[in-house]
Amino acid sequence: MSATLSLSRFNRPGFLPVWRRNFLVWRKLALPSILGNLADPLIYMLGLGYGLGAMLPSVGGQPYVAFLAAGTVCASTMNAATFEALYSAFSRMHVQKTWDAILNTPLGLTDVVAGELFWAATKSLFSGAAILVVITGMGLTHGPLMLWALPAVVLTGLAFAALGLIWNALAPSYDFFMYYFTLFITPMTLISGVFFPTEQLPGWLAAIGGWLPLAQGVALVRPLLAGEVPADALIHIMALLATAGVAFAIALHLTRRRLLK
C-alpha cells in the first residue's frame, strides 16, 4: 500500500494539488471573475480603438482597432497573471495562511510556489482566451493561425506570474504592490507596443521596450491574429521562457528566505 502511494506521489507533479485547490476556489466565482477581467481591457479597446482609431490611419496595414486588439490581449494576460501572483498569492501566503497549511502536508515549498506560478498562468489564459473570443466575434482576427495565440498567452502569463512572485516574496503589505505597478507594469505597457508601434519612440527607449517581456508577447500575438507567422518567433519564445525560469528561481529563493526568518 505504501509503495503504491509513493509511486502515485512520484508520478503526479507536486504543484498539481496546489493548482487544483486554487482552481476549485476560483470555480465558485468563475463567471464574475472572467467578466471582471474582460471589462477593463474591452473598455480601453472599444474607446480607443473605435474612438481614437477613427481619426488615425491604418497601422502596419491594419485598422488601429485591430492593432490595439492584439495589444489588449497581451496587456490583459499580463494584468491577470500579475494580480494573481501578487494580491491573491499574498493573501494565501501571509493573510489566510493557506501556504502554512499546505506545507504541513508532504508537499514542499517548491510545489507551493510552482502551483501558484501555474495557477496564475492559467488565470491569464482564461482572461486572454475570453478576449480572443470577443475580438474574433468582432471580426478582428484572421485565419486559423490565431489559435496559436493561446500558447503565446500562456508563455506571457508564465513570465509575468514568475515576476510577480518575486515582488510577492518581498512585499510587507498589499500597499507595496502599488510600487510594482507604478514603476514597472504601467511604464512597460506604454513602451511595449500595446497602444502604438514602438518605432514612434526615441531609439533608446524603443530598444529598452523591445527587450521587455510584454513586448515579446505582443510580437508573437499581433502577427498571429493577423493571420501571419511572427518574425523571430523562436527568439521571443525563448525570451519568455528564460524570463519565467530565471524569475521563478529568484522568487523561490526569496520566498524560502522569507518563510524561514
Q: Residues 233, 236, 239, 245: is their CA dihedral positive or negative?
A: negative
- Identify the pLDDT of residue 79: 94
Q: Read off the amino acid at residue 73.
A: V
- Identify the pLDDT of residue 215: 96
Q: What's the rounded Cα separation, in Å, for the pair 220 and 246? A: 21
Torsions phi, psi of 224, nearest 5? -60, -40
Name the residue among 10, 212, 173 with its Cα closest to residue 106.
10
- Identify the pLDDT of residue 40: 76
Please report where in the chains the cell 506570474 appears, as a residue. 161
- Identify the pLDDT of residue 86: 96
- Identify the pLDDT of residue 129: 92
Q: What's the rounded Cα separation, in Å, for the pair 4 and 11? A: 11
Torsions phi, psi of 62, nearest 5? -135, 155
Report the chain (261 residues): mean pLDDT per 10 consecutive residues: 39 84 91 78 77 76 88 94 96 93 93 97 94 89 92 97 97 94 94 90 92 96 94 96 97 93 66
- Identify the pLDDT of residue 59: 81
Alpha helices by DSSP H, 47-102:
64-83, 89-90, 98-102
Torsions phi, psi of 195, nearest 5? -100, -25
Please compute Rg for the chain using Cα positions. 19
pTM score > 0.95 for this model?
Answer: no
- Answer for the pair 203, 190: CB distance below 8 angstroms, yes or no: no
- Identify the pLDDT of residue 9: 43
DSSP-assigned letter for residue 107:
-
- Identify the pLDDT of residue 37: 74
DSSP-assigned letter for residue 228:
-
The grid cell for 114 is 510552482
- Identify the pLDDT of residue 7: 35
For the chain, which residues make up each domain, given as ranges? Answer: 14-259
